[in-house]
Structure 1
Amino acid sequence: MEQLQNQIEAQKQQIALQNQQIAELTLKLKWYEERLLLNQKKRFGSSSEKMNEGSLTLPLFYEAEETADPAAEEPTIETITYSRHKQSGKHEKELKDLPVEVIDYLLPENEQTCSSCVNPLHEMSVEVRQELKVIPAQVKVVKHVRHVYTCRHSRSP
Structure 2
Amino acid sequence: MSKENMIELLTAMQVHQKKQETRIQLLTEKMKELEFMNALLSDRLTLAQRKRFGASSEKYADGYTQMNLFNEAEQEADPNATEPEMEEIHPKSYKRKKQAGKKEEDLSSFETTEVIEHKLEGEERFCPECGTKYKVVTTEKVRYLKLIPARFEVVEEITYIYSCPKCGKMQRPEKTPALMKGSVATPSLVAGIMNAKYVNGMPLARQEREFARYDLNLSTKTMANWIILCAGRYLQPV
Whether these two folds match at TM > 0.5 is no
TM-score by length of 2: 0.23
TM-score by length of 1: 0.33
Larger Rg: 1
Higher strand share: 1
